[in-house]
Structure 1
């Protein structure tokens, strides 16, 4: 990349942010780096060095493993985050750096292995976005705090009110689990998350529950979760979070943990089996209570290279 030295000279650095997700104790979790002295947690983040790395992805894999001891499996590029005015407590990586262009990546791990570094920890996604968990029904947080605060913020602006209703399933509208980033950005715009007060030099009022992250890393994390939820429906990415063998109940719980939805058991199983995504192994699991459950494995792509996603039939 021949332009990198010029960019660095102009005070622009290319950073790489990793949204590393896995299932930990039945919950979708992200790997975060926790600093000392009350510093906000951050995603694994590092600079791209064109003299040391041939590609962005190789650089990402190297520094994530160096920071956490965790080798990455599935990786895909998310988005380039280059807004001026980003708060940069973690991202400013050089003297005189004025701006960091951060390229976000989504990475999946089959096991939430304990990181080698003590400051790297798995954190439940619902701890960062508690309003995104609908597995036990509509979160009371939405009606008790989010909806009143957002409607007060929107006032008589019909466009803003329609945006509030659409994103948080108000006025009888349907919840769209994929719009994680849109919801977080609306809460930020309305000043309801602590990052908004921090970035604008204001004292925080009563921010909503949810773990605040360094810089714009919660925005990047929201992008990763929204992307993964969308991909569940057209690519078999859920299997990149599973072990080699699993019960259908374990597969459903994994899908629910990622999507934040309670799924209809029989319809989910019929959809998985009809699509030919799994096959029985001929062995039983002893990890379940009561009757042992049959273990399955992923079949992979079909003969013409198709690898379907999952049907997500929500329970009513």
Structure 2
């Protein structure tokens, strides 16, 4: 380790930061666990610096940070992505006061993000920690009730930014479903990065050391709330990953209790994907995949007609290849 440290430029260090996107379903929303460090005016994800001398692995360190900062114990976890490109045109990572010692402008921060799924948004009892709907940070990503009104405001701002440039306008059309282009729910990160490039994300002016541009309140709300450091980029990456993974791995069941109704499962999948699903086709696809099994008892707490409870057939994971869930969209 000393040889590695000696090889670093004297004017800078490599700091490895670990962040966790902890997702659960709360009511009708996908929620993410956030923290607000002392003195911070923005929320962020649970995070901290990796100590090569004190931490045995990245994952164990990340789990410890989450428990320390939120009093929440993680279950399912997977590594999400490593953000380390020098000079990347994206929100700049910053460990704040958690990086250890004096920080230099030449320090290189490597951000390692993790995705964690929880079966319930359990009250953490940590005063600086909250479960927040991720639509708070990306309002334009929720199409469950049709095209979001936020997109109309964003469209005007993007067209102004494009200023007739065909390449810019083409990217905006493709990512934000303008001029009748189809919506691709998985391209969350690309949409956020375009807003960052266009100077519409509030993190842009912060990272460039510029005075924040005053936006009309409706547009600011449509663009979503900023987060600490590069955490909104990490969150966008997690949403993209999870939306894609729904279709090829049965990860949706990591967000469900042991017993659930099919309506609750559909609502959870819709909350993650951000799109409405066709009820009958969704259930037919579940039946064909043979992923769930009826428990022979009813849930009387549905607020209406009692519905049968089901369980995920977890034992099949070791018996055969298992795909994800079909997402048959509800068309107008």
Name the TM-score, length of structure 2 as normaliser: 0.89
Q: Does 1:56 align with 2:58?
A: yes
In 1, the alpha carbon distance for the partners of 2:36 and 2:286 equals: 38
Structure 2 vs 1, CA of residues 302 and 214 (structure 1 numbering), >3 Å: closer, same or farther? Answer: closer
Ranges in structure 1 where 5+ consecutive residues have no aligned partner: none
| Correspondence 1:197-236 to 2 at 5 A | 197-200=205-208, 201-206=210-215, 208-209=220-221, 210-236=224-250
- 2:132 maps to what in 1? 123
Distance change in 2, residues 1:166/1:121 (3 Å): same
- Which of 263, 281, 296 is matched with 1:282 structurally? 296
Aligned to 2:313: 299
Matched, 1:184 2:192: yes
Deviations 1:276-315 (A, max 9, x none): 0101011100111232100000012367431220111110
Corresponding residue for 1:72?
A: 74
Within the alignment, does 1:151 sit opposite 2:159 as a pair? yes
Which residue number in structure 2 is paired with residue 95 of structure 1?
Answer: 101
1:240 to 249, 254, 273: 254
Matches of 1:157 and 1:77, distance apart in 2:
38
CA distance in 2 between counterparts of 1:37 and 1:92 reads 13
Q: Which residue of 1 aligns with 2:151?
A: 142
Distance 2:248 2:148 in 1: 27
Count how many residue pairs are aligned between Structure 1 and Structure 2. Answer: 315
User: 1:91 offset after TM fit, Å?
Assistant: 6.9
Residue-by-residue CA offset, 1:45-68 (whole Å, 9 max, x unaligned): 011122222211111111211111
Q: Does structure 2 conserve the Cα–Cα contact (< 8 Å) formed by 1:42 and 1:90?
A: no
Query: Are 1:268 and 2:270 counterparts?
Result: no
Cα distance between partner residues in 1 of 2:267 and 2:69:
30
Partner Cα distance (2:287, 2:115) in 1: 28
Partner-residue secondary structure (3-state), 2:96: coil
Say which is worse superposed, 120-129 or 85-94, in terms of deviation: 85-94
Q: Secondary structure at the match of 1:208?
A: helix
**Cα distance between partner residues in 2 of 1:254 and 1:189:** 32
SS in 2 for 1:21: strand
Most deviating of 129-138 and 303-312? 303-312
Distance verdict in 2 for CA 1:113–1:218, change over 3 Å: same
CA change 1:64–1:21 in 2 (3 A) is: same
Q: Pairwise CA RMSD of aligned residues?
A: 2.0
Q: How many Å separate the matches in 2 of 1:312 and 1:126?
A: 20
What is the TM-score when the length of structure 1 is the normalising length?
0.94
State the partner residue of 1:107. 116
8 Å CA contact 2:295–2:311 kept in 1: the answer is yes
